[in-house]
Amino acid sequence: MATAADWMSAASFISMAGLISFSGYDGSVYLMGWTGGYVLLALLLAPYLRKAGKFTVPDFIGDRYYSNLARTVAVICAIVVSFTYVAGQMRGVGIVFSRFLEVDIDLGVVIGMVIVLFYAVLGGMKGITYTQVAQYCVLIFAFMVPAFFISIQMTGNILPQLGFGSTLTDGSGMYLLDKLDKLQTDLGFTEYTSGTKSMFDVFCITAALMIGTAGLPHVIIRFFTVPKVRDARKSAGYALLFIAILYTTAPAVAVFARTNLIHTVSNNEYSAMPEWFKKWEGTGLIKFEDKNGDGKIQYVADKNANELSVDRDIMVLANPEIAKLPSWVIALVAAGGLAAALSTAAGLLLVISTSISHDLIKKQINPDISEKGELIAARLSAVGAVCVAGYFGIHPPGFVAATVALAFGLAAASFFPAIVMGIFYKKMNKEGAISGMIAGISLMLFYMIKYKLHGFGGGTKEDWWFGVSPEGFGVIAMVLNFVVSIVVSKFTAPVPEKAQKIVEHIRIPSGAGDTHVH
């Protein structure tokens, strides 16, 4: 449960259904990529990393590649990935606070920063584990209860997964998705159930999210908290089950929210808008601009005529209000959104602070540092991390889920090849691994900055390399990482015996034959 809560962040809870509700079929890449990655992690990496007994990814890379430089590069990669990810969480926390404290989104992010810092600094790994179990329970309950309510309300079916494919209870006899397709096309949008992305881009995004999941430092850390190697695989299986509850419900929630939103706002009088609309307007996340002065909300695909802009990240939180559910359900959803964002933010801050205090300071700069000194260093780096993450939460490179997708791309481009070859390829030496990681993360960062951050050349969609979006580019950068690693390792010194023994020890199950490691 802690693993599931650690991994199901604000992107899963708040933003994913919101993204799917606006992008329709194209949003399915997030569902496939993020759940598929868990299977990859459970089979390929988790048990072996647990057997290696290293508590952080940089620790494993530093030992396997017998080099402090490799450890430092891994620390930098872990920090870059975690910062990108935590910026998405801060944005998520900010959205919840801005609505329910009725403050501006920027102030919401600042309040979130203070709370995240408070409990990431005070609790350690064990404290965070137990909080995350509680958060999982809150998160899943908060996501499912409104989904059950709305599913019964719209289709008469209690299970949203089945309601998603049922006929409506409004007497029209239409299927829910057919109705939504019709609503979309009437307003000039593309059909909800048809995709606009190229198949290659869909493949790349799905693969980047899958491979990124398997290389995420804060998720891998989780597998070091299980007692035995066998438990690592088992806990990944259970985590997948717990995650699937939310992930199979998200598309239904997206469709319910989209249908309700169009019904509520399209061509209706602005003065007659319900209270939820006015409250969200106060946060600046939904805006109405009366272009033709008729007092009605024109919500259409044509950008010049459209009078309503909706931030996708509000859909899950506003959904119960739009559907006129009781206020305790609305409060529950807010609690779930906070639980999702805070649990992941705490896990990420743990990665950043241990990378700096343990892998950088204790292992390299000052090996004689006391435990107290290491703890102080960890807490100071957590403070610094929250401040930087808060800045990116206020100026995000995209919606929460899109920002988080970039973190997965960075993890895929940097860690995945180094970890996989560290486990399965004895001949991979330190020079190969280091140059591969540097090449992969540099290319991904360059592409991300070029196409995502405003003011940096800001390339357009037409300029994408091979037609691949920044969210999917992690796959291309990962291929470069593999190629560079293998080529460089062929022309440099062979791997010492000791590092090869580490690989043998990780790969062979305990008790299988006479394979002692001296």
Cα–Cα nearest to 118, from 342, 331, 339 = 342
Q: Is the pLDDT of residue 326 over 70?
A: yes
Nearest 5°: phi and psi at 160?
Answer: -60, -35
Q: Provide mean pLDDT across the span 72-84.
A: 84
Q: Tell me, what's the pLDDT at 513?
A: 45
**In the chain, how many domains are there?**
2
Residue 179 within a domain:
yes
pLDDT at 426 over 90: no
Does 513 map to a domain? no
User: For residues 22 and 238, is the Cβ–Cβ distance under 8 A?
Assistant: no
The answer on 339 and 240 residing in a single domain is: yes
Residues 104 and 23 in one domain: yes
Residue in this structure with the two tokens 């070029």, named with its chain if needed:
450
pLDDT at 478: 95
**Domain match, 145 and 277 both:** no
- pLDDT tens-place string over residues 103-122: 888 888 888 888 877 766 66
- The answer to the question of residue 321 being in a domain is no
| Distance from C-alpha of 116 to C-alpha of 112, rounded to nearest angstrom | 6
Rounded CA gap, 245 and 226, in Å?
23
Asked whether residue 115 is assigned to any structural domain, the reply reads yes
Average pLDDT of the chain, as a whole number: 82
* Same domain for 172 and 85: yes
Q: Which residues of 34-50 are buried (b: 16+ CB within 10 A; e: fewer)?
A: bbbbbebbbebbbbbbb
- CATH number of the structural domain spanning residue 156: 1.20.1730.10
- Within 10 A of 215 (CB to CB), how many other CB atoms are there? 30
510/72: higher pLDDT:
72
310: part of which helix (H) or strand (E)? strand 308-310
Q: At what angle do helices 105-122 and 327-354 cross, to 10 degrees?
A: 60
Bridge partners of 296? 269
Q: Give the whole-number percent of the chain exceeding pLDDT 90.
A: 12
Q: Are 436 and 418 in contact (CB under 8 A)?
A: yes
Q: Tell me 462's DSSP state.
A: G
On the CB side of 120, CA atoms within 13 Å amount to 31
The 3-state DSSP class for residue 224 equals: helix
pLDDT at 121: 66
Position with higher pLDDT, 249 vs 35: 249
Contact 281, 288 (CB under 8 A): yes
pLDDT reported for residue 515 = 46
Do 66 and 198 lie in one domain? The reply is yes
pLDDT (0 to 100) of residue 220:
73
Instruction: State which of 247, 282, 313 marks the end of a domain.
Output: 313
Q: How confident is the model at residue 398 (pLDDT cuts 50, 70, 90)?
A: low
Which class for 277: exposed (0-12), middle (13-18), buried (19 or more C-beta within 10 A)? buried
Mean pLDDT in residue range 279-308? 83
117 vs 429 pLDDT, higher one? 429
Nearest residue to 410 via CA among 16, 61, 79: 79
The verdict on 309 and 393 lying in the same domain is no
In a domain, 366, yes or no: yes
Confidence class for position 458, pLDDT limits 50, 70, 90? low
Q: For residue 201, what are the contacts with CB-CB under 8 A and spacing of at least 6? A: 467, 468, 469, 472
Place of tokens 């305990």: 510
Dihedral angle computed from the Cα positions of residues 318, 161, 404 and 282, in that order, rounded to the nearest 10 degrees: 0
pLDDT at residue 13 tops 90: no
Q: What is the pLDDT of residue 514?
A: 44
Q: Is the pLDDT of residue 440 over 50?
A: yes
pLDDT for res 207: 92
Identify the pLDDT of residue 399. 64
Residue 364 and residue 452 in one domain: yes
Instruction: Give the integer Cα–Cα distance in Å for 335 and 342.
Output: 10
Residue range 313-325, pLDDT digits in tens? 888 888 888 888 8
Condensed to tens digits (0 to 9), the pLDDT of residues 333-366 reads: 888 887 777 777 777 777 778 778 877 787 778 7
Considering the domain architecture, whether residues 251 and 303 belong to the same structural domain is answered as no
Are residues 258 and 291 located together in one domain of the fold? no
Same domain flag for 134 and 40: yes
- pLDDT of residue 455 exceeding 80: no
The whole-number average pLDDT for the span 431-448 is 92
Give the mean model confidence (pLDDT) for residues 30-36.
84
In a domain, 320, yes or no: no
Residue range of the domain that includes 420 = 2-264+326-507
What pLDDT sits at residue 518?
46
Q: Report the half-sphere exposure of 482 (CA within 13 A, side-chain side).
A: 12
> Do 308 and 387 belong to one domain?
no
Q: What is the pLDDT of residue 473?
A: 93
Residue 400 confidence (pLDDT): 66
In a domain, 516, yes or no: no
Confidence check: pLDDT of 397 > 70: no
Residue 483's pLDDT is 96
Is the pLDDT at 457 greater than 60? The verdict is: no
Instruction: Pick the last residue of a domain from 280, 313, 346.
Output: 313
Q: How far apart are CA 86 and CA 15, in angstroms?
A: 14
Residue 516's pLDDT is what? 47
414 lies in the same domain as 335: yes
- Percent over 70 (pLDDT), the chain: 91
